[in-house]
Amino acid sequence: MCGIIGYIGNRQATPILIGGLRKLEYRGYDSAGVSVWNETEGNSRVVRCRGKLAGLEEKLKAEPAVGTVGIGHTRWATHGRPSDQNSHPHKAGPISVIHNGIIENHLALRQELAGAGAKFSSETDTEIFAHLVEHALIAGAPDLTTAVRRSLQKVRGSFAFVVMSDKEPGTLVAAKNSSPLVIGLGDGENYVASDVTAILAETRKVIFIDEGEMVTVTRSGVAITDFEGNPKTREPKMITWSSVQAEKGGFKHYMLKEIHEQPRAVADTLVGRVDLENDDVSLDGLELDVANIKRIIFIACGTSYHASMVGEFLVEAMARIPVEVDLASEFRYRDPILGPGDLVVAVSQSGETLDTMEAIREAKKKGAKVLAISNVLESSIPRLADYAFYTHAGPEIGVASTKAFTTQLVAMALLAIHLGRRTGKLTKERARELLADLVALPSKMRDVVEGSAQIQAIARRYGAANGCLFLGRGAQYPIALEGALKLKEISYIHAEGYAAGEMKHGPIALIDEHLPVVVIAPRGPSYEKTISNLAEVRARQGKIIAIATRGDNDIGGHSDDVIIVPDTALELSPILTVLPLQLLSYYVADFKGTDIDQPRNLAKSVTVE
């Protein structure tokens, strides 16, 4: 995920910027750059490089960026492939800009600015903001702060910007909407960053910027306002975390941090795709030949396979197109029957899983079209596919997938609504309800992840169990599989996920007073049946942890523990019900003291068969 740093003071900026960016490397990036204002030349020098910071440092040796004011960025590509040209900072006239997040209305703004004579040198949404600020100054904005404020009125989306002007080199202006931004305070010098980690080596005195605020930073002070210009006051805080803790945002493990990042990741994945005016979904301009899709086949591995199983449920329900789901590692070995009319959807968060890649090759050889759903721009799988659609979870460092999974579920919902509108099987009215529920998900997810104290207490009680069963029906069955996979992966406790109706066909033999059984039972058409399964477990003294919908006052009578999730459309409920399962696995593993972020024998991206 992108990283931001800015410095204004009396020391050389470049080493401070590079030092800060190095602290952000753990977040993952594909290119880096700095813009440093050179007092002698009266100009800022932009040096950018695709690849790692070492490459940027080499470039800086050849073309040093000298000066005491500067901004630096590590980019994790979302709009526009990783390249020198697309790296930040972006420059328009005297304006240099770095940006984290996504400008939702970038296409319309690009057209408008091009009409006004702007010349673009990158494919990014970010460059648009540099042009907007330049245009605001040309149109008479009296200073950089005003120009940034006027430009902010035009952009929609999630962002943290830092802007520097060659005409006003004693000032950095930053703004925040949904992407983190922090100011570091020094003596005669100040810092801006996306993450405390980037500045912790320089100062521990910080001010966290809130949503909808902008800040003007000079050598001697900071002035915070809202986007309308109303002043805001904020007391600085002293950071007492170690820098390792800071990289994890104060969380004990990356996995826990990533669990908590999910509301943000889901919001980012929705940005620019939900069209509330037309009750529709735009898949970033992809032109799938929907009328000629006779069948959809999802192929994936592991957690992505579970997301695909939810995808089957959603696409069949909303678009009424027949769907199959196949394990990528099995697919090509059974000589699958495929041809034109089949759309293969390859789901891979890393975009590098070898089994999935080989399955795509097989599908293409047989004449099927392939759509990749991935979290990593320009990774091998989207490049191999005919179409690519990206989740915007940001890099996931914990080996056990969490935010990549929930954003895959969001991608499935977006795909299903898009297809459903085009096959005519999803009414405008239903699409409107689903889209409203999708947009409301991040705050509901926040409710669940912030209520983790109860789950922690449950985990402590069951941490010594030898096994665990997860049960669910319909779209909750893949969530049962995912809950079991998470627990296995990080706590090394044997766990099984089962379709609740299958329990009596075998796994019921396992049930006794020592076996915790997690039953995923949100309200919906199969609620009553799931409750019957729950009663079967209880009759055999199994310990029941139920995941239920807010307002369900009955389930408590059948369960040892009930974890409540907010209500949402049935089709979207897996995005909420999986959260307690991730937290449960996490706290059980933490209780056992396993290596949560790098569990034994597992790799983040599986590039062997």
Tokens of 280: 């529709």
Give CA separation, 372 vs 69, 146, 215, 317, 376, in Å: 42, 42, 40, 21, 11
Q: Which residue type sits at 31?
A: S
State which residue, 89 or 302, has the beta carbon closest to ligand F6R: 302
DSSP letter at 80 equals S
**Cβ atoms 326, 356 nearer than 8 A:** no
Please say if 604 is a catalytic residue: yes
Please say if 2 is a catalytic residue: yes
State which residue, 373 or 562, has the beta carbon closest to ligand F6R: 373
Tokens of 176: 């925040």
State which residue, 216 or 353, has the beta carbon closest to ligand F6R: 353
First to last CA, the chain: 28
State which residue, 182 or 307, has the beta carbon closest to ligand F6R: 307
State which residue, 200 or 495, has the beta carbon closest to ligand F6R: 495
* Contacting residues toward ligand F6R, per CB under 6 A: 301-304, 348-350, 353, 356, 400-401, 489, 605-606
State which residue, 203 or 303, has the beta carbon closest to ligand F6R: 303
Write out the DSSP string of 385-423: SSEEEE-------SSS-SHHHHHHHHHHHHHHHHHHHHH
DSSP letter at 190 equals E
Q: In what helix (H) or strand (E) does residue 85 lie, and over which residues does it extend? A: none
CB-facing half-sphere around the CA of 356: CA atoms within 13 A: 36
Please enumerate in sequence order all residues whose Cβ is within 8 A of that of 509, keeping only pairs 6 or more positions apart, or say none: none
Q: Which of 364, 366, 425, 604 is catalytic?
A: 604
CA–CA distance, 4 with 23 (Å, rounded to integer): 11
Please enumerate in sequence order all residues whose Cβ is within 8 A of that of 90, keeping only pairs 6 or more positions apart, or say none: 96, 97, 98, 99, 121, 122, 124, 126, 127, 129, 130
Give CA separation, 207 vs 190, 202, 203, 399, 409, in Å: 11, 14, 11, 32, 35
**Cβ atoms 338, 365 nearer than 8 A:** no
Q: In what helix (H) or strand (E) does residue 214 lie, and over which residues does it extend? A: strand 213-217
**Cβ atoms 286, 387 nearer than 8 A:** yes
CA–CA distance, 486 with 461 (Å, rounded to integer): 18
In whole angstroms, how close is the CB of 391 to ligand F6R at the nearest point? Answer: 10
From the number of C-beta atoms within 10 Å of its C-beta (0-12, 13-18, 19+), residue 121 rates as: exposed
The residue number whose beta carbon is nearest to ligand F6R equals 302
Q: Which of 2, 49, 301, 468 is catalytic?
A: 2
Coil/strand/helix, residue 191: strand
State which residue, 347 or 545, has the beta carbon closest to ligand F6R: 347
State which residue, 370 or 546, has the beta carbon closest to ligand F6R: 370
Distance of alpha carbon 238 from its chain centroid, rounded?
A: 29
Q: Which residues are catalytic?
A: 2, 604
